Amino acid sequence: MEDVLSIRDVDKTYQLGKLSVPVLKNINISIKHGEFVAIMGPSGSGKTTLMNLIGCLDRPSSGKIFIDNVDTSDLNDMELARIRGKKIGFVFQTFNLIARFDSFKNVELPMIYQDIPKAQRKARAKELLKQFGLGDRMNHKPPELSGGQRQRVAIARSLVNNPGILLADEPTGNLDTRTGEEIMDIFKTLNSEGMTIVMVTHEHDIGQMCHRIIRIRDGMTI
């Protein structure tokens, strides 16, 4: 199978004044279409930085990252924004929903930036919200929803533009065990339907549910 994601010789160094802080060193990862991969490691190991690089929120200091065979390391801001919007779906630990928008608008948002016609957006957002059992919560704002409901809205949002990869950064970290399991079930279902998922977690149980675990420590894969 073709690689959806390919990371080659990636370094990431942060510049804190005169001090260079290396966060990632010589990372090489390939992820194939339909894989369910967990990235695990202690806090401060560089997991989230790696996720940000994969998600095109940040650029590597050196090395290359290919998404669908497109080298993202030398794209400009506009092109990166486009990749984030079209090819990548983000699910965050803290949900990162916009509090003043209702569930519907939150799910619609990524489609707005891709200039998708209004009618189409409406149908797609409704479809996804219903699929995740939120048909009756469309006009509720995030503060009116439970944690599990919020994360389901976030998952719906991450899927609206049919991304090639779903990136989940500790998606169950802010949820109780039972709700966490429900969310994991959703990811498993999505994966069984063919979605490539890369998930950062430090929970061993959750890592065990994935096909493959990439362990990272001190900025290096082990």
Helix (H) or strand (E) holding 102: none
- Tell the smallest beta-carbon distance from residue 132 to other proteins (Å): 17
Which CB atom, from 112 or from 204, has the smaller least distance to other proteins? 112
- Give the nearest distance from C-beta 81 to other proteins in angstroms: 4
Residue 110's H or E segment, with its range, is helix 103-113
Cα Rg for the chain, rounded, in angstroms? Answer: 17
Please, what is the minimum distance in Å from the beta carbon of residue 177 to other proteins?
25
Backbone CA torsion sign across 197, 202, 206, 211? positive
Q: In a 3-state reduction of DSSP, which class is residue 125?
A: helix
Nearer to other proteins, 19 or 78 (CB): 78
Per-residue three-class SS string for 155-171: HHHHHCCCCCEEEEECC
| Of residues 12 and 207, the one with the C-beta less far from other proteins | 12
In the complex, least distance from residue 113 CB atom to other proteins, rounded to whole angstroms? 4
Nearest distance from residue 57's CB to other proteins, in Å? Answer: 5
| Cβ nearer to other proteins, comparing 137 with 157 | 157
Q: How far apart, in Å, are the Cα atoms of 18 and each of 21, 24, 44, 61? A: 10, 18, 21, 16
List residues near other proteins by CB under 8 A: 52, 55, 57-58, 77-78, 81-82, 84-86, 90, 92, 96-101, 105, 109-110, 112-115, 157, 161
Question: Which residue's CB is nearer to other proteins, number 38 or number 88?
Answer: 88
Map residue 179 onto helix, strand or coil: helix
